[in-house]
């Protein structure tokens, strides 16, 4: 009888340990970012919202995994009365810790503008749209800021492979995506946000793949820009990229009209013979 009681007691203890371990694993997992490369979105937390309502808003907006875990974390941190109402730019790539910190510190955006930069847009087109939305003084000012590669290399290591930085700009590194820009942000803030997005998407896996075929990040960015312009349809791009890569491997010229247009700084539907005479060195 005693042995049976001991066995039952041990089983109960093991069950409690198992349940506790499962809860801890679930809790810690729920505090991690929901996605690796989530986009920022505007989330409104209205005045007077309870902790449970804030948690539901964040969960429904796909910012956090679980509303209950969020509430537990806030209570354990003792910051339940510090959550501030307002409009926040949040992302599912943020941990619960970061989300809570932003809300308790009241890092709100007063007035935001939603802008989508389609794939294939040049730096000049982006600058024109930003000026049109009155987010920058002039497109020339933004273009000039985007030439200061050295300033941004300190914060974004993936820019380290850019050659001839005095002759280049951040063209190709300002990731095409949908952004919320605060009216108080300047050209530098906008560029940093777009570079940050590039870093979120261009992971170490892509870097390693490039190195495996002897291409730096900058080589891939330049080639991708050319392929983007040469191919109208996504389905054609792998084939076009393969052709260009094989030409580079053999030391051949790319023979791409896009490289001429890029050197000329313009976009045209057709390249003329006289355009090919441009000296882009």
CA 261 to chain centroid, in Å, comes to 28
pLDDT average, residue stretch 10-37: 86
87: CATH: 3.30.1490.480
Pick from 69-73, 88-92, 200-204, 232-236: least confident: 232-236
**Residue 96 — very low, low, confident or very high, per pLDDT cuts 50/70/90?**
very high
What pLDDT is recorded for position 251? 46
In a domain, 82, yes or no: yes
* Buried-state track 72-107, b at ≥16 Cβ within 10 A, e below 16: bbbeeeeeeeebeeebbbbbbbbebeebbebbbeee
Q: Report how far residue 195's alpha carbon sits from residue 172's, in angstroms, rounded to the nearest whole number.
A: 10
DSSP letter, residue 166? G
Give the phi and the psi of residue 8 in degrees, each rounded to 5: -65, -40
CA angle 264, 233, 213 (to 5 degrees): 75
SS3 136: coil
Per residue in 153-172, pLDDT (tens digit) is: 999 999 998 888 888 899 98
In a domain, 57, yes or no: yes
For residues 100 and 61, membership in a common domain is answered with yes
Q: Report how far residue 198's alpha carbon sits from residue 175's, in angstroms, rounded to the nearest whole number.
A: 5
In a domain, 120, yes or no: no
Range of the domain at 266: 213-277
Reply yes or no on whether the pLDDT at 70 is more than 90: yes
The CA–CA distances, whole Å, from 84 to 74, 103, 107, 191 equal 13, 6, 9, 28
How many distinct structural domains can be found in the chain? 4
In a domain, 146, yes or no: yes
Per residue in 194-236, pLDDT (tens digit) is: 999 999 888 878 778 777 777 788 887 877 766 566 555 455 4
pLDDT average, residue stretch 251-280: 40
In a domain, 112, yes or no: no
Percent of residues, the chain, with pLDDT higher than 70: 79
Per residue in 7-20, pLDDT (tens digit) is: 777 888 888 888 88
CA angle 149, 181, 73 (to 5 degrees): 105
For residues 163 and 197, membership in a common domain is answered with yes
Total-model pTM: 0.60
In a domain, 109, yes or no: no
In a domain, 117, yes or no: no
**Domain end among 161, 177, 201:** 201
Reply yes or no on whether the pLDDT at 4 is more than 80: no
């Amino acid at each position: 009888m005693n042995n049976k009681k001991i066995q039952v007691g041990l089983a109960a203890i093991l069950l409690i340990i198992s349940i506790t371990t499962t809860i801890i694993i679930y809790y810690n997992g729920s505090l991690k970012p929901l996605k690796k490369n989530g986009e920022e979105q505007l989330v409104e937390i209205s005045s007077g919202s309870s902790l449970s309502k804030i948690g539901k808003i964040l969960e429904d907006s796909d910012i956090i995994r679980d509303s209950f875990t969020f509430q537990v974390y806030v209570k354990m941190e003792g910051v339940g009365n510090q959550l501030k109402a307002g409009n926040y730019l949040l992302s599912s790539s943020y941990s619960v810790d970061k989300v809570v910190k932003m809300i308790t510190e009241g890092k709100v955006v007063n007035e935001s503008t939603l802008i989508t930069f389609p794939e294939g847009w040049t730096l000049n087109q982006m600058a024109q749209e930003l000026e049109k939305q009155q987010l920058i003084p002039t497109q020339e000012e933004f273009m000039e800021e985007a030439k200061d590669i050295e300033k941004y290399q300190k914060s974004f290591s993936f820019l380290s492979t850019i050659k001839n930085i005095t002759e280049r700009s951040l063209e190709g590194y300002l990731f095409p995506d949908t952004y919320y820009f605060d009216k108080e942000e300047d050209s530098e803030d906008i560029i940093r946000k777009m570079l940050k997005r590039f870093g979120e998407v261009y992971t170490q896996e892509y870097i390693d793949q490039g190195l495996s075929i002897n291409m730096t990040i900058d080589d891939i960015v330049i080639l991708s820009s050319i392929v983007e312009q040469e191919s109208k349809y996504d389905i054609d791009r792998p084939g076009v990229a393969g052709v260009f890569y094989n030409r580079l491997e053999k030391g051949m010229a790319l023979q791409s009209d896009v490289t001429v247009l890029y050197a000329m700084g313009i976009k045209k539907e057709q390249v003329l013979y006289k355009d090919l005479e441009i000296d882009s060195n």
